[in-house]
Chains A and B, each alone.
Chain A
């Protein structure tokens, strides 16, 4: 399988930072806030590879930095330091050296994002179909009939009732909103999808159907995905490899079944032992 993404030494610090930030934070220091300058080391020195069609899990508790990783890779934030390379057939993009227009192109065409909070991923001021149209328009699909057809196709693929495609997502249930978000993310058939706690807070039965949908999409389109979750069940169900994060650091990584059955780090052992 071809490598699609390579992340090296990614770091993000909120605040002005000081020379002692790194040594004073992390799992050993038991905090991510620097006691000397008050800056928050959200992530430090995160490196990993992602291959075509692979689902990688980022796990850890709230505040471990797992969402920050995908937000930086989706250009929602700018990292303090580090590199990321995105590989297309004929080109390699140094993601953080690109200009704004080039980054926008990757974001709009090559990446898809599904947020835990649908308000971040969807425009509630327009219809569900309109949300998808918006993404297609950014990709130079401008024929009304064609947009309408694509939107229908995507919404029916993610099992959103077509009779409601002209309603705002505000009128939808949480599970339905996630389906619209997934449809929107898939609009350009991106090779890379970021999923940030997409099932958190949903009913179990709704969660199950969303997870099934994600797996089906991965199998149909060979989409590579980075799945951020604190839910070990989601990790076990979806991912082949996983990274465990704590206080902004990757403390353990490996094959998912190995992480869950033979965790090496004290924190991972505690995490796995506390699964319901």
Chain B
């Protein structure tokens, strides 16, 4: 219900009452960690939203300037802690780019399997937590049930369940264990029918559609203007995915993989499976579309993992032996962006020729995605704020670093 407050036809809003300033967060159940939103409200109608950051700042970038690249990997885990594998990947690729280190095919396929599994795990949380934001509990636990299985798989690979530090400059810390890929295949087989449960409980649920369709509409221009990326950008109908449009060093990982970027084209999404239909109420760029893109990307990632496993089995070469812990870096600066589950995750590294980077910076996708809230929320009701913020699927650890 995006209402234009200045619309003179709306008498109700013409007669203003006292405005109220409300702090939503940093301790609030639906601000995904420690986001603080200052809401200016007229009754329940929001007239202004200001996001405040910095409650989770841990100086990760500064720490990166005191450690060697491999030592900094655990700190990247703690950025987007819901998709730590993808963070590891982003940093590893930057370091490899600086070193001009080439990976074997097997290592590349391993990375595809791992990072796409990470994407599924991350989107499952995004989906479940979005349900929580809208007041339904059960999908959250259903999502976590499946996520746990992925975490079990990751635990087998690297021993950790949240902060993996598995992918590392040079490849990975170890090869995939024997028989592991079969377990992944078994997991994918049992996940597939469950996806339709999620669609039933959320995507096609009448109340869910009422709460999300037509709420927080972001036009393609606006999404681009604010530098949004990932499902948030694609939910607005912009056909842009770094796995396809990114830098050669990143996209070559996906060479030979068949997949379609999840984005609405000519009024419909790529339909290679039995997806639920887009409801009439939904407008391109609203909360529902952002959520839907995420759900479809789970299916897409499942496909990619399946293909990756096939390729990994027949691939030659080693699994990518990590570089030395104290490897000297050549002089120069590199920047590379990867398609993390939440969008474009970029790392910037400046080296003065020693083993320790001179400068390390990270470009967070959630930071840009979050910045649109102040544009989307005015005119909405308080109940729409969690719906909008939730649909952006932010992780504060990545924003504050």
**A, B assembled together:** no
